[in-house]
Structure 1
């Protein structure tokens, strides 16, 4: 049974259309993997089918099943991804000087935002009768896909750059995946995964080329719109870090769908944040002539030199009236400790980069102090403890003597007097 709400797959470059029920990754009219496809929908059919309680609780992303490109007779593979909290962040707001909320997608089942896409990938791969699923990843998508493949009873084979954080490699190994660490960077691992897909016929979950992965990611936009209804106002800005570009593209698509359908009466501007050492989407958006395709940043999740979804990401920034900024690795680490020390939310560097981006945007007058900002933290901090150690002063080592404590904090009497 097909997907009645999906109308076609449309090439973002030339507009050619393809059958959405066929396994196709990119438009064959273009060399390499440039012809990224866009999933288009019959929104009247979706509106008729969607019966979610808008402004009500969100148990998981499957509250928005009517919007998702999954056949009605498919067995859904899920670990209850999505439905993540949108936290008021008064301490962070005071530190930044602007009202800020945090959507903590590091609380997803494998600890990152990409679970929203992996659930779709494994569900579709199983429905298509595939046994083996693959992807290239800087770490998070690999861990995410591995967990969902295990849940769905599929074999998983993933390609990661050799310098991926060890915490992110341990996770997919526990999930039973074959982890192939490529002696090269993410882009080389990516190219190899595409070649393997063509030769072996494995199902490829790479969000940048598998058109249905962005569609899972757009549930974060649905949720933010839904949570805006519950709160009674739409934020002025929603802030994401950008690597391949599909996350911010998906989030904007989801929010815009709710706006176009009249479920919400306004939409936010999107702010995309990239590391200075991996700035290709930012450079393309601002028409910089010198675009460097070498990625060098400690925020490994966004260390992408040749983003495949630049068109969709730039479209999200432009359509929403938003923009992009660059931040340094040092600013990203400071943002990680700021988020943790103000609100108790532990984020990996790429998940903290939006906070550094808000600071930069405030300094440059892009964000006004009377506006409301939502930052989306996309990954849990335990995935990259080495960066966290760099970001902090480390532990204080002391002997088991009260005098050592007094040396740090003064005597108990002095402390009481200070209170």
Structure 2
């Protein structure tokens, strides 16, 4: 990995060997010392010779940017390469030029597959036989699928209120799913304790530095897909913060290597019941460490990647907004009604955030926007029913249809 130079602490700048399995900087209490993967971009640019006007078969088109050794075969299910879709009807409703990147089309239905592919590839290359993580459902499904693909054992810690529909996936993939009597943060802490006790490989995006690196391929793809037509704004939901950080890093890298001419401003969207990154960015202290939102994928009370997320917002000249659960569910229904796109609540949150940003004057009428949907609506059918309403019951009688719709 001569293109990877170090793992660097985001707080003190201490560096570590990228070939070692190191999660956080030990100079800081707990897991505050989040690490950043740094690169020799001269080597990266020399190796990256892909056609930027061609197809994107999967995220491994950008292998030159990924922290994987040349002689390692990726563990892949075809993640990445998701479509960027025009959204004219919803755009007109919001008075913006809107495109949507639907990452719910990834193999297990979530953007996290980009990160999991890299993590499981790293785990297998390091000779680890067991992978683990804490999850509200999506990371559990993603890790379960890729562990099965790699032939590794998978042990997952989920909070007791995780949606049952999401837990069916990792169970089908053969993972051990351990329901923790407590919150996501308690499940997360337990996963760290088990990692230290048993020596398992931990995929938690909050601490595994290579997770952001996989997620940043969504930024590479967007930079390529909008080449010559860079959006004014790029919108992500924020939970732990590593997704928006990764998306910005990937897009920024393409600009710094002169592969694209411009970069967008980042708009981060959080639920009111899980607002820690927004509060840190706005320098307030209102966040409750106990997350409470229908958007379980971003229900993080103590995000570990706050520093990286805030840097993405600051460096891009961006902003953040908070939305209510009701606004998120309304956005989920609006996506389906206007554009035929089915997103889980966290995936619909960027649309709710864009609507809020328009009302607040953050995003102006006529500006161009790309919103990233991070998860498929099939992940959480119960929330979808809340968003769209109940089935209308009728008798098996044509008269009932005529009464409903007219002769």
Give the distance between the partners of 1:69 and 1:217, measured in 2 at CA: 12
Query: Within 1, Cα distance between the matches of 2:59 and 2:74?
Result: 12
User: What is residue 374 of structure 2 aligned with on the other side?
Assistant: 378
Which of 277, 286, 291 aligns to 2:273? It is 277
Once the 2 structures are TM-superposed, how far is the Cα of residue 289 of structure 1 from its aligned partner?
Answer: 2.6
Contact 1:282 1:325 in 2 (8 A): yes
Instruction: Give the TM-score, by structure 2 length.
Output: 0.99
2:206 aligns to what? 208
1:78 aligns to 2:76 (yes or no): yes
Give the structure 2 partner of residue 297 of structure 1: 293
Identify the residue that residue 386 of structure 2 maps to in structure 1.
390
Retained in 1: the 8 A contact 2:101–2:373?
yes
Which blocks of at least 5 consecutive residues in structure 1 are unaligned? 412-419
Question: Does the 8 Å contact 2:35/2:209 carry over to 1?
Answer: yes
Give the alignment's TM-score, normalised by structure 1: 0.96
- The residue aligned with 1:328 is 324
Spell out, residue by residue over 1:22-75, the C-alpha distance to the aligned partner (whole angstroms, 9 max, x if none). Answer: 010000111111100000000000000001111221000000000000011112
Matched, 1:191 2:189: yes
Any idea what the Cα deviations from partners look like across 1:236-274, whole Å, max 9, x if unmatched?
001000000000000000000001011111100000000
Q: Which ranges in structure 2 are unaligned for 5 or more consecutive residues?
A: none
Q: In the alignment, is residue 407 of structure 1 matched against residue 380 of structure 2?
A: no
User: In 1, Cα distance between the equivalents of 2:287 and 2:404?
Assistant: 49
**Cα distance in 2 between the residues matched to 1:299 and 1:403:** 41
In the TM superposition, what whole-angstrom CA distance separates every residue of 1:337-388 from its partner, at most 9, and x where no partner exists?
A: 0001111110000000000000000001000112100010000001100001
RMSD of aligned Cα (Å): 0.6
Deviation of 1:108 (Å): 0.1
Contact 2:82 2:101 in 1 (8 A): yes
For 1:146-190, what per-residue CA distance to the aligned partner results, in whole angstroms no more than 9, with x for missing partners?
Answer: 000000000000001111011110000000000001010100000
Structure 1 residue aligned with 2:224: 226
Question: How far apart, CA to CA, are the structure 1 residues paired with 2:220 and 2:283?
Answer: 30
**Which residue of structure 1 aligns with residue 239 of structure 2?**
243
1:347 matched to 2:343? The reply is: yes
CA distance in 1, matches of 2:280, 2:180: 28
Residue aligning to 1:174: 172
Asked if the contact 1:55/1:228 (under 8 Å) is kept, the reply is no
SS of equivalent to 1:214: helix
In 2: Cα distance, 1:113 partner to 1:250 partner: 11
